[in-house]
Structure 1
């Protein structure tokens, strides 16, 4: 499999000889550099060993915190307060919508390696149109949580036994206070490591 982003290629396969042959053919056709094992790609840090692969975004978290003015914030234990109810009809003052959306876009990208953030980030993402002070406070709590857990990521261990796919789903009932819509969440694990 070949993953391409602009002029960066990631080559994945089970047969090292096939990968070497592909690289050789590409080098004959194009000017390219072989950086060997993948260690960093699109703000995702990749660590590979004989025991498995782990991915995280610690450096990206530092960038998010710096850009949002939260680099020195106090960490907290949870990404969102229990039973938090935010409304699009909030009467709190408006905040800078562009800055809010910028932070939200960054957090949504971070969810790729941090499924623990998925619900909280998804919840505040529906408030992009006219973000208010209380909405921003919820986003800042996520940032405080991220600061305290910036080294977290996903770990995929090599297993000798048969790999099993397991999935879970759940939903609330009319949790959206504005539209009375429900939220569904799903997570799938392959060999006890989250993949969605």
Structure 2
């Protein structure tokens, strides 16, 4: 249906489709029965919406405000993306017994090991919360590193791992209104930054690499990953 309407699948994302015409570009982001249509070819967007309405029962929700747990808002000079309601629901599911907040998602120089603490009798909640935090990191890069660490213990979490997980949740409670900021700028200069540790994991001596990418002044991509090999020098770890 989508490809028959002239859209081409993106080579970078299987749920993103692109339509090009003399009037501009139209982007379609499709997830099951939810979709976002955006672009500078307003005539084609109106045609495609009408075409879909003839084939399916549809609801046009107007300008983008909420999509898959992600909240979108805008002003005359910027766009904002957040997951405040998602965090509220996550805190409710976690059933924290206090109202404490912390200033950082993880203590400085903490090195967690698989053997730290006592095994949890029921690790289901730990796995569920960590999985939710992985999705939350879509709009909260400030928790990417602790979530990367905590996700390594989902197979056999302990009481120590769970206490650090609760610290991330308390940090989120205190920063629930934080949002990603995308200014309306004509700059399309692409900048990327990367760094790596050397043998920083105390359990397997593997290194970590991380990067972030900016389009103009807007952060558009970031990632932290543990290396699959053990490097003998810091120079190898940074390659």
TM-score class, shorter: over 0.9
User: How many angstroms does 1:7 deviate by?
Assistant: 1.2
Query: Equivalents in 2 of 1:21, 1:71: separation in Å?
Result: 53
1:3–1:10 Cα contact (<8 Å) kept: yes
1:167–1:189 Cα contact (<8 Å) kept: yes
Displaced runs of 4 or more, over 6 A: none
Q: Calculate the TM-score normalised by the size of structure 2.
A: 0.78
Residues 120-131 of structure 1 aligned to structure 2 (within 5 Å): 120-131=146-157
User: How many angstroms does 1:31 deviate by?
Assistant: 1.7
Task: Give the counterpart of 1:60 among 82, 86, 92.
Answer: 86
Q: Deviations over 1:11-30 (max 9, x none)?
A: 12122222111111111222
Query: Equivalents in 2 of 1:66, 1:29: separation in Å?
Result: 40
Point out the structure with max Rg over C-alpha: 2
Structure 2's unaligned 5+ residue stretches are 1-26, 222-239
How many equivalent residue pairs? Answer: 194
User: How many angstroms does 1:170 deviate by?
Assistant: 0.9
1:156–1:193 Cα contact (<8 Å) kept: yes
Q: Calculate the TM-score normalised by the size of structure 1.
A: 0.94
Query: Equivalents in 2 of 1:155, 1:164: separation in Å?
Result: 17
Residue matched to 2:161: 135
Higher RCO structure, 1 or 2 (CA under 8 Å, sep 6+)? 1
Q: Deviations over 1:116-150 (max 9, x none)?
A: 11111101111111101111111111111111111
Cα 1:41–1:72 shift into 2, 3 Å: farther
1:78–1:145 Cα contact (<8 Å) kept: yes
Query: Equivalents in 2 of 1:42, 1:129: separation in Å?
Result: 27
Residue matched to 1:195: 220
Q: Which moved more, 1:107-116 or 1:72-81?
A: 72-81
Q: Are 2:119 and 1:94 equivalent residues in the alignment?
A: yes
User: How many angstroms does 1:73 deviate by?
Assistant: 2.9
Residue matched to 2:58: 32
Secondary structure at 2:39 match in 1: coil
User: How many angstroms does 1:56 deviate by?
Assistant: 0.2
Residue matched to 1:181: 206
Residues 45-84 of structure 1 aligned to structure 2 (within 5 Å): 45-70=71-96, 72-84=98-110
RMSD, aligned CA: 1.3
Secondary structure at 2:112 match in 1: coil
Q: Which has the higher strand share?
A: 2
